[in-house]
Amino acid sequence: MMKFLFRGLIAVAMVALLLSVAQAEMMIDTVTIGNTGNTGETTGGSTLPYLGPEVTCGAVDYIYNIGKYAVTAGQYVEFLNAVADTDAHGLYNALMATATYKNNIVQNGVSGSFTYAFADSASSWENRPICFVSFGDAARFCNWLHNGCPDTGSQTAATTEDGAYDLTGNPTTDAEYLAISRESDWKWAIPSEDEWYKAAFHKNDGNTGNYFDYATSNDTMPTSNQINGAGNNSTHRKWDGSGWVDTVGSPYWRSEVGAHYNSESPYDTFDQSGNTWEWNEAVIEEDGVDQRGARGGAFLDNKNLSTAFQTAGFRGSFFPTLESYNLGFRVVQVSSVPGDTDGDGDVDADDAAIVAAHWGLPTSAGAAEGDFDGDGVVGPKDASIMAAHWSGSTESSATTVPEPSVLAMFVAVLGLAALRRRRP
């Protein structure tokens, strides 16, 4: 009896301590992609608007979450400030601050104490998609999400070098980045081509093989209007009879994510047509040369090019080490909610009771008994994971630390559940 009481009190004390200092994870708005078992369609070809080796694309037989928007410059600044005090792997590119099509992100200080911010904090750079990021930069961002967004200032296996992708071998060349693949225990990742394609083009009409040509829920080329109640708009150039007209223009060039309302995909993602190309995991061979996949087209593409680049039939690709003004990414997430022991889609008092019942005990049942970090024991790290996703669900991945009132309730539930175990 005393052993159970002691364990319960220790659980309460440890959880209270952890939650008092827990850090908030990044806010990533996601949508859930269902219709498991849908069939794919042929994409690629040799004549515009179809380009790239032909494959069947879009069939995904599992539920997953995908970013509602591309990763933004603001989110990337948060990432840099968390892991790039020295920036050992070049996650920051000076062109982010100096290029014509910049993100306006500056690096301040000296190596070992670098910080990152927008050069003009009064302007609206934060909610536009990040660019000048390679496939490796995107993979390290995903690893950081996978590891819970640690704020250590360094790039290690616990932050950016392992997680969804094993980068501990310090890859630097295109060939080395082409050889990297997603690990089986991933939590956040760069979308596969199938995941990206389904979220963009599938009609969300059940287990079908029905797809739109554009990621605006339409078979007609989007216009370049930024705000149009009729919808079917994307960010790209158009010809007005005397010159090219940009959707946004200098100095921002790229639209804020989600600016084209009534232009979302059937799954409610935005900007998978236009604004920036987005990395995917595909390895695409063209004329004997392998590159990583990218889709969607970008803001400087004229209408003739966009008619091709934004279509479902166009398989773009770039060398994975490329960091370009028109190339960004979005992320995918496993659909399960960390901290959800009973599999009901949210993290609540029932899950807390299960954690308390197994506190300090070895387990081989994984998350079903509260072992969320996979170390074989239910303990403080698992409680912290649960707290960070309290009241989470598969419909939202806003992974922040709960409010103090929720924390207090969480601690109380753990304590009561643990004390209940000592009753005869």
CA distance 160 to 167: 8
Give helix 73-83 / helix 135-146 axis angle, nearest 10°.
70
Q: Give me the sign of the Cα torsion angle 166, 169, 170, 171.
A: negative
Domain ranges in the chain with CATH number 3.90.1580.10: 29-330
Question: What are the structure tokens assigned to 211, written together?
Answer: 């797809």
pLDDT of residue 225: 81
What pTM does this model have? 0.78
The answer to whether 199 touches 191, Cβ cutoff 8 Å, is yes
The token pair at 403 is 């409010």
Q: Which of 275, 280, 143 is nearest to 198 (CA)?
A: 280
Q: Is the dihedral of CA 383, 384, 388, 394 positive or negative?
A: negative
pLDDT beneath 50: ranges in the chain: 2, 4-6, 9-23, 343-344, 392-406
Which residues lie closer than 8 Å to 334 by C-beta, 6 or more apart? 64, 65, 186, 187, 188
pLDDT of 120:
87
Fold of 29-330: paralog of FGE (formylglycine-generating enzyme) (3.90.1580)
**pLDDT given for residue 5 in this prediction:** 47
CB atoms within 10 A of CB 62: 11
Q: Which pLDDT score is estimated for 416?
A: 52
pLDDT of residue 204: 97
